[in-house]
Amino acid sequence: MTLLQIADLRVAYPGPGGPVEVLHGVDIEVAAGGRVALVGESGSGKSVTARSVLRLDADARVSGTVRLAGTDLLPLPAKRMRAVRGSRIGLVFQDPLAALNPVMTVGWQICQPLVIRGVPRRTARRRGIALLRDLGVRDAAERFDDYPHQFSGGMRQRVVIAIAVIAEPELLIADEPTTALDVRVQAQVLELLTGLADERGMAVLLITHDLGIVAGFAEQVVVMRHGRVVERGATDDIYYRPTHPYTRGLLGAVPRIDADPAVRLATVPEEEPVEPGPDATATATATAAPAPAPAPASTNEVTAP
Ligand SMILES: Nc1ncnc2c1ncn2[C@@H]1O[C@H](COP(=O)(O)OP(=O)(O)OP(=O)(O)O)[C@@H](O)[C@H]1O
Ligand SMILES: [Mg+2]
């Protein structure tokens, strides 16, 4: 069953000479309980996609459809939209520090999504402490009344995840949840997310530009560039049979421990085949892509209508 269905999503922001479109018709689907990675270089539109699903940018002009279990969120009245945020879709923001309020205790912030839904404070507190403990925070009960600045980066990220999932949403959108962390903590946080998603049957849309963490996490990968989806498919197909030159470039740019040191990492070409033509794979320039052989009849590549 499809839980989230984003179709022909277009987003424009006001610019000095009129609205500037930054998303040009994005289609993404996430199955109930599924795990999808949204990847792409900086500025490709990943965060705008996430924020538009939750309608967080008041000045954005958004069109298309964003269906959650069949209901289009874009025309929903503000009040009903507020009920979707947090309880049905949790969001882990890209910048964990900015997402936390420095003058409120972490416990207060974790409990808030429950308290505003009428859960008694004591119950919310008990659930918050249990969740924080599940997320690997030692002495969770004592740390509950600390302030964000008393937590390390990795611990703060766990707090941010706790806030996003405490109300047990069906979908978690995690925007670069591990970028600010060192690799060891990155792996831990990702493992926690995976465990939590499995346990609760929660779907996850993981936004990242780190292809290294995608393979073990996602079943499906969607690749964006310049506000468009340029490739999509099962994770293995994307890794071993990438069809779009940009995806091949991205994969070629991932350092691999088993790589031949004589082969240089690829750079992604800047010249832009905005609407990839049918022979786009012929122009692939990646030199160290893990799977140099092009897929004969792969359907990963998203062709322009
Ligand atoms: N509030 C805004 N107003 C105007 N333009 C914006 C706004 N937010 C994003 N943009 C533009 O939209 C484009 C996509 O930005 P977005 O933040 O989605 O990229 P991203 O893929 O998340 O990149 P990164 O990996 O660096 O986080 C960029 O060109 C950005 O400048
Ligand atoms: Mg972003």
Consecutive 10-residue averages of pLDDT for the chain (305 residues): 97 95 98 95 94 94 97 95 90 81 95 93 96 89 95 88 93 87 78 88 91 87 96 92 86 68 66 46 38 48 59
Q: What are the residues facing 5 on neighbouring strands?
A: 29, 67
Percent residues over pLDDT 70 in the chain: 82
Rounded Cα gap, residues 68 and 80, in angstroms:
13
Rounded Cα gap, residues 212 and 207, in angstroms:
13
Ligand 1 atom nearest residue 50's Cα: 18
**Which residue CA neighbors atom 3 of ligand 1 most closely?**
13
pTM: 0.84
Q: Which ligand is nearest to the CA of 24?
A: 1
Task: Please tell me the distance between residue 9's alpha carbon and the centre of ligand 1 in angstroms.
Answer: 15
Nearest to 169 by CA among 266, 226, 92: 92
pLDDT tens-place string over residues 264-293:
666 666 655 444 444 433 333 333 444 444
Task: Please tell me the distance between residue 11's alpha carbon and the centre of ligand 2 in angstroms.
Answer: 15
Given this model, what pLDDT does residue 107 score?
97
Choose the residue to mutate in 46, 228, 272 for probing ligand 1, maximizing ligand atoms within 8 Å of C-beta: 46
Ligand 1 pocket member 153 (CB < 6 A): no
Q: Does residue 94 come out as left (phi exceeding 0), alpha (psi in the -120 to 50 range) or beta?
A: alpha
Ligand 1 atom nearest residue 40's Cα: 21
The architecture CATH gives domain 2-224? 3-Layer(aba) Sandwich (3.40)
Residue 133 carries which side chain, given as an amino acid letter?
A: R
Choose the residue to mutate in 10, 47, 225 for probing ligand 1, maximizing ligand atoms within 8 Å of C-beta: 47
Domain ranges within the chain, ordered by starting residue:
2-224, 241-305
